[in-house]
Structure 1
C-alpha cells in the first residue's frame, strides 16, 4: 500500500504529438524529471525522437535504444519544452499521477491533535484518515495544512505535519474506508489536485517536485 507514481504513456504521446520531436533535443537528465528516462525514450522514439541529453551514466544505455544520446548541451538544436511534454503546464495533460492509500480511519474529537507535536488540533469533532505517502516519498513537509488530496472525487485537506511515510487527512463524514485510493496530484479533468498547488505552497518548481516524487516512490508505467 505504498504510494505509487503512475506514468501515463498515452498522455505523454498525446503531448508529444504537438511537438517537433525529430528536430529537437529531449532533456532526460534526472531520469526524465522522475518520469523514467528509458520508458520516456522508448515511448517517443517511434514518434520521431532522435536526440536526447542525458546524465553521463545513462548515455550508453539510451544510445543502445537507437537514439543519439549526449551528456552536454547540443548547439544548433532546439530543446523541447519539458513542462508541456510532461503536462506540468496548464495546457497539457499531466503524465505523472501520485496516489497513496488509506491505512486506517478514526474519530478525532474537538481539541485533539494529530501528527508530530500536535501542531493541528481539531476545532470540532471529525474523522481523519492515515494515508501512505510522506516526505520520504517526495510529499514535501510544507504541504501539511496547506493543500488537499482527493478521494473518490472529493477534496480533503492534509492536517498537521507530513511524516516520513504517512500523512493525515480530514475526511469528515465522507464514506472513506481502509484501502481507498488517495490522489495527491494528477489530472484535474479526473478530479485530482494539480501539482502546481504544491509549487505555490513550497516555492519549488513543478519539475523539481515531479523529479523528487518519481525518484522516491514505486513507479508504474501505464
Structure 2
C-alpha cells in the first residue's frame, strides 16, 4: 500500500509535453518549485529533450533555483535595483536583457487542458461508515445525506493543500466511479458519499491526475474550486509525499 497522501510527478508526461514545444527561444517556467512538481525533476526532464533554459518570477526563487540546478541557464523576471548585483553574481539573467524569448508554463504542466497533466494527487480511504437519509456530514453539517448509504473518510485535507471549496462541489475517483466530496473539508481529511458502494479501508482515491490512464483531469478539479490549475499544484503541502512515476 502506498502513502496516505501522495503527489505523483509524472515524468514521462513532463518530458513529452516539453518535447512537443517549439523549443527555439523557450524558457520553461519553474517558479514556486516548478509549481509543486520539483524544479530538479523538471530540469532533468527538460534536459533530456535539449532544453536548458528556465524562468522564475522572483529574485529569491531565482537564487534558490540556481543553487539546486547550478548549470541551468536561468532568467528571472523583474528584480529590484538593489538586488541586481546579487543576481548577476549568481549568473542569473534578467528577462529585460533577453529579447526574443518566451516563457512556457501551462503547456508544460498540463494546466491548459490540452497537454497531459504532469501530476496525480492521491490519497486513501481511512474508514467507512453507514449513514442515514438526513444525517449531516462533517462539521457544520453543510451536507445531509439524500438517502441511506455509506461514506468514506479520505486521509488528506486543507492542511495538505486541498482547497476547502472542494466540499460539496468537487468529485474524486474512487472504486472506478466519480463520487462527490461532501461536507466541509477538514485539516486532515474529507468525506466522500459512496451511496450503496462498499469499499475497503486503504482504497485508492484520486483527486486529479493522468487522463490517459482514466484519472480525472486537473483542469476539472480546478474549475470545481474556481481557481487556476497552477495554484492547485503549487499549493500542495509538505506533508504530501512526492513520488516519481
TM-score computed with the length of structure 2 as normaliser: 0.84
For 1:48 and 1:33, locate their aligned partners in 2 and report how far apart those are by CA, in whole Å. Answer: 21
Q: Retained in 1: the 8 A contact 2:126–2:201?
A: yes
Q: Choose 1 or 2 for highest CA Rg.
A: 2
C-alpha displacement of 1:51: 1.3
Report the CA distance between 1:126 and its aligned residue.
0.6
Rate the CA distance shift 1:57–1:116 in 2: closer, same or farther, 3 A.
Answer: farther
* Partner secondary structure for residue 235 of structure 2: helix
Are residue 200 (structure 1) and residue 223 (structure 2) matched?
yes
Give the structure 1 partner of residue 208 of structure 2. 185
Q: How far off its partner does 1:20 sit?
A: 3.1
Q: Structure 1: any 5+ residue segments left out of the alignment? A: none
Distance 1:53 1:119, change over 3 A: same
2:159 aligned with 1:136, yes or no?
yes
- Distance apart, 1:111 and its partner CA: 1.7
2:104 to 81, 85, 99: 81
Q: 1 CA distance for matches of 2:227 and 2:203? A: 29
Q: Equivalents in 1 of 2:141, 2:104: separation in Å?
A: 43
Matched, 1:122 2:145: yes
Shift of residue 10, structure 1, vs aligned partner: 0.5
Between the two proteins, the alignment pairs up a number of residues equal to: 221
1:95 equivalent in structure 2: 118
Give ranges in structure 2 of 5+ residues lacking alignment: 78-93
Counterpart among 14, 27, 30 of residue 29 in structure 2: 27
Cα deviation 1:34-92 (Å, max 9, x = unaligned):
1101111012112111211231332432442x221233352324334311111122221
Residues 152-196 of structure 1, C-alpha deviations (whole Å, 9 max, x = no match): 321110010011110000112224110000000112332322222
Cα deviation per residue 1:106-164 (whole Å; 9 max; x = unaligned)? 00011211101122111210100000111111110111011110013211100100111
Q: Distance in 2 between matches of 1:143 and 1:53?
A: 31
* Contact in 2 for aligned 1:16/1:85 (Cα 8 Å): yes
Please, what TM-score do these two structures have when normalized by structure 1? 0.92
